[in-house]
Structure 1
Amino acid sequence: MSAPVPASTPAPSPGPAGIRLGLAANLPQFVLLVAVNALVGGMLGQERITLPLLAESAFGLSAHTAALTYILAFGATKAITNFFAGTLSDAFGRKPVLVAGWLIALPVPAMPAWGPSWAWIIAANVLLGISQGLTWSTTVIMKIDLAGPERRGLAMGLNEAAGYLAVAATALATGYLAEVYGLRPAPFLLGAAYAALGLGLSTLVVRETRGHARAEAAARPTGGHHHAELSTRQIVWRTSISDRSLSAASQAGMVNNLNDALAWGIFPVIFATRGLSVAQIGVLGALYPAIWGLGQTVTGWWSDHVGRKHLITTGMLVQAAAIALVALGEGFPAWAAAQVLLGAGTALVYPTLLAVVGDVAHPAWRARAVGVYRLWRDGGFALGALLAGTVADLWSLEAAVWTVAALTAASGAVVAARMTETHPEKIR
């Protein structure tokens, strides 16, 4: 269920050239971008169940570090592309970057479906990482542009909910297809349909939103010229280190995706070694992003009312507890409970961190700040693949799980100590 925009919200004032900010004023385009981001999430969901199982059954990769190379390739390329997506969308506009991302996605489903070697899987995930960096980053930036400051948390909640509900639905569907038709090629045909539809909508129907960011910047009475002069290097420094809230958000985002890499690459292997069927693994793989996706429709809106910091701190600690439950639990019911808990914790964190970046960053450099934040956040995929794979190879799968649980709890403590409240109406 999603939280509606309150009817009492005052109508936004028109900006330059009649541009209006706010969800109600831009509802058709906002809904369209939600749908586009669902297709972006579906491209990721096609791999969540199939690739961890393909690594050993089709390509004979038993070492966890080697098997997780596809997550490393995906995370590293997506992280770097996120950074450039913000810069490119400021320079050339949001829509061209979105369309370019979908063009790059077109060959991705065919490569794991019919590729003759693991190198094809790695290459597909390089392309997928570039595509996701361009498309997901741009849909985030465009929704922030449209929403304005009043409902930014709700906007991010809806954006991320659409993406991760699609991840969940596609993971569930591909688990079923793999059980019935085999791991290749049937599960990847969904991805081919998503890519074609996403490219068509982005090219023909989506409209440019850079003017909305300029309208919001013009409405701020002071500091606009100073902010416009910030270099990319200065923005990187602020987002990564010098600004307490932005830097706390960046590290929390990185650790969040570090534990998502564990859920993606290690959890299916644990469940398979404990005797679960592919269909059961598909259900567990879908349950976590489903709760994550549904929860964000509420938590993003909630952060607009109660503030950002405490939701993020709580969410990181809940994630840590859920990961520990995977190590401690035994059997489908216990692991299902862990996936629900992990999804709930991630829902508290994910849209709220993006809202923090939107709160703190000036519209003149916000797109680049989003790119830097997402560089750190999706770098967590690569770090998580390396860390989880190495620990699993040196000790055990369970040791990898406990290591990531401890890091996630520590990240929550960093947010509690370093971040200040950023919601404009909640700052004291």
Structure 2
Amino acid sequence: MSLTTAPRLGLRVNAAQFSLLVLVNALVGGMVGQQQAVLPLLAREEFGMTGYTLVFTYIGVFGLAKVIANWFAGALSDRYGRKPILIVGWLIALPVPIMLILAPSWGWVVAANLLLGVNQGLTWSTTVVMKIDLAGPARRGLAMGLNEAAGYAAVALTSFLAGQLAANYGLRPAPFLLGLAYAVVALGLSVVFVRETRGHAALEGSGVEPPKRSSRDVFLDVSLREPALSTASAAGLVNNLNFGLSWGVFPLLFASADLSLSQIGVLFAVYPAVWGLGQLFTGAASDRYGRKPFITVGMAVQALGLGIVAFSGGFAGWALGAAVLGAGTALVYPTLLAVIGDVSHPAQRGRAVGVYRVWRDLGYVAGALVGGVVADLAGLDAAVWSAMVISAVAAVIVHLRMYETHLRN
């Protein structure tokens, strides 16, 4: 390889490719945002579904599919490279909005969300790993902040746009045309302009002998044995429990107060908007002040936000609660990914990120179960209160078990 094409680490020297991957990840987030404010209402109004547990099936299926895809994305990207996995993920996304537009039954919606989960697992995991590859160790928190900010700002913007389209043109097909456009554009960018980054990971790991760890060892370390990695996985699961629960519960809770589709779209955009934009600052700040304080405080702030949502009964209170919940998530989300990058060896990075995202995205399944079962038994408010308690317990566990990882660099 010539000197002009040899990989170099750092955000500045890789600015063009890094920025392209930020854009691609924004489109990944937009695929979720197209449906978040719309599907719970579609289930009730077009398919006549009333049981909360049954309505939330699509969230559970999405989460399980994403969990499995995360594992394969990490393992296969370490073996075959990052770019091929990214392209496959976008090919799988293409039929999703079409299925949602044409769905004659709820089964089609569930099947579309299975494909969406695979798409999210392959594409989001891969863009995370590629950005860690490019950034190198010094600015890992900033890199993850930019990545997650793009993804969840796009979730927020697309949720808002989908809500407006639904209010003006109906629940179908207009909101899902956004997702179709996103998938086509992202596939083209990934095929033509995205470059492979596995060489950057090899460069970072060249001075350190990789530990002799099998895929089973990596799974056990990230799941149970290594304190920082396994605590990050547990905190990530609780974080996405909150996200999955909010995805199913919040639109129905807001609709119970006779809010319009437009108002529901605004409220649903607040949470990921604060979450997304906040990560522009929290990821970089964790490079300076360490990871653990942001994760501990972030889980506690999420609990506070959920308490405000559960206690409130109108637009203003729900908007405040959603904003606080988003702020807590912004403190946690890029920082947890930075912890995985801090502790794992570059040669095993894809697998470590994949295992972390397996546990984190099991939170969607947990959120669907907690939200659906508790809501059916005790009401929508009770489901939100239960998530508040779980988040508070997670903050205590992080404080007691996780050690600071950034100092290791």
| Percent identity between the two aligned chains | 59
The Cα of 1:219 is off from its aligned counterpart by: 2.8
Q: Give the Cα–Cα distance (whole angstroms) in 2 for the partners of residues 398 and 339 of structure 1.
A: 14
The Cα of 1:15 is off from its aligned counterpart by: 9.7
1:246/1:360 contact within 8 Å kept: yes
2:34/2:178 contact within 8 Å kept: yes
**Where do 4+ consecutive residues of structure 1 move more than 2 Å?**
14-18
Q: Give the Cα–Cα distance (whole angstroms) in 2 for the partners of residues 131 and 369 of structure 1.
A: 19
Asked if 1:234 is matched to 2:217, the reply is yes
Match among 88, 110, 123 for residue 135 of structure 1: 123
Q: Give the Cα–Cα distance (whole angstroms) in 2 for the partners of residues 79 and 315 of structure 1.
A: 23
The superposition leaves residues 81-106 of structure 1 with CA deviations (integer Å, 9 ceiling, x where unpaired) of 10110001011100000000000000
Asked if 1:384 is matched to 2:367, the reply is yes
Q: Give the Cα–Cα distance (whole angstroms) in 2 for the partners of residues 90 and 72 of structure 1.
A: 28
Q: Give the Cα–Cα distance (whole angstroms) in 2 for the partners of residues 402 and 338 of structure 1.
A: 12
Q: Which residue of 1 aligns with 2:305?
A: 322
Q: Give the Cα–Cα distance (whole angstroms) in 2 for the partners of residues 355 and 45 of structure 1.
A: 24
Give 1:58-207 correspondences, 5 Å limit. Answer: 58-207=46-195
Q: Which residue of 1 aligns with 2:293?
A: 310
Asked if 1:374 is matched to 2:374, the reply is no
Match among 339, 347, 368 for residue 330 of structure 2: 347
The superposition leaves residues 348-373 of structure 1 with CA deviations (integer Å, 9 ceiling, x where unpaired) of 00000000000000111111000000
Q: Give the Cα–Cα distance (whole angstroms) in 1 for the partners of residues 199 and 68 of structure 2.
A: 26
The Cα of 1:114 is off from its aligned counterpart by: 1.5
Q: Give the Cα–Cα distance (whole angstroms) in 2 for the partners of residues 217 and 40 of structure 1.
A: 28
Match among 364, 380, 385 for residue 397 of structure 1: 380
The superposition leaves residues 184-215 of structure 1 with CA deviations (integer Å, 9 ceiling, x where unpaired) of 01100000000000000000000000000001
Q: Which residue of 1 aligns with 2:9?
A: 21
CA RMSD of aligned residues (A): 1.3
Match among 24, 27, 47 for residue 39 of structure 1: 27
| Corresponding letter in the other structure for 1:246 | L
- SS at structure 1 position matched to 2:405: coil
The superposition leaves residues 370-412 of structure 1 with CA deviations (integer Å, 9 ceiling, x where unpaired) of 0000000001001110111011111111111111110011011
- Name the CA shift for 1:148/1:180 in 2 (closer, same or farther; >3 Å): same
Match among 250, 271, 281 for residue 264 of structure 2: 281
The superposition leaves residues 131-163 of structure 1 with CA deviations (integer Å, 9 ceiling, x where unpaired) of 100000000000000000000000000000000
Q: Give the Cα–Cα distance (whole angstroms) in 2 for the partners of residues 236 and 15 of structure 1.
A: 37
The superposition leaves residues 253-307 of structure 1 with CA deviations (integer Å, 9 ceiling, x where unpaired) of 0000001011110011011011111110000000110000000000000000000
The Cα of 1:16 is off from its aligned counterpart by: 12
1:15/1:219 contact within 8 Å kept: no
Q: Give the Cα–Cα distance (whole angstroms) in 1 for the partners of residues 165 and 257 of structure 2.
A: 22
The superposition leaves residues 166-185 of structure 1 with CA deviations (integer Å, 9 ceiling, x where unpaired) of 00000000000000000001
Q: Give the Cα–Cα distance (whole angstroms) in 1 for the partners of residues 378 and 154 of structure 2.
A: 34
The Cα of 1:424 is off from its aligned counterpart by: 2.8
2:78/2:349 contact within 8 Å kept: no
- SS at structure 2 position matched to 1:266: helix
| Corresponding letter in the other structure for 1:204 | V
Asked if 1:245 is matched to 2:206, the reply is no
- SS at structure 2 position matched to 1:75: helix
| Corresponding letter in the other structure for 1:392 | A
| Corresponding letter in the other structure for 1:361 | S
Asked if 1:211 is matched to 2:211, the reply is no
1:15/1:216 contact within 8 Å kept: no
Stretch moving more, 73-82 or 94-103: 73-82
| Corresponding letter in the other structure for 1:317 | A
- SS at structure 1 position matched to 2:345: coil
1:15/1:215 contact within 8 Å kept: no
Q: Which runs of 5+ in 1 are unaligned?
A: 1-13
| Corresponding letter in the other structure for 2:365 | A
- SS at structure 2 position matched to 1:46: helix
Q: Give the Cα–Cα distance (whole angstroms) in 2 for the partners of residues 41 and 177 of structure 1.
A: 18
| Corresponding letter in the other structure for 2:94 | L
2:223/2:355 contact within 8 Å kept: yes
Q: Which residue of 2 aligns with 1:7?
A: none
Q: Which runs of 5+ in 2 are unaligned?
A: none
Q: Give the Cα–Cα distance (whole angstroms) in 1 for the partners of residues 261 and 7 of structure 2.
A: 50
| Corresponding letter in the other structure for 2:136 | G
| Corresponding letter in the other structure for 1:164 | Y
Instruction: Give the aligned length.
Output: 408
Asked if 1:357 is matched to 2:340, the reply is yes
Q: Give the Cα–Cα distance (whole angstroms) in 2 for the partners of residues 241 and 150 of structure 1.
A: 27
Q: Which residue of 2 aligns with 1:291?
A: 274
2:245/2:370 contact within 8 Å kept: no
TM-score (norm 1): 0.94
1:85/1:138 contact within 8 Å kept: yes
1:161/1:293 contact within 8 Å kept: yes
- SS at structure 1 position matched to 2:382: helix
Q: Give the Cα–Cα distance (whole angstroms) in 1 for the partners of residues 407 and 184 of structure 2.
A: 40
Q: Give the Cα–Cα distance (whole angstroms) in 2 for the partners of residues 319 and 190 of structure 1.
A: 30
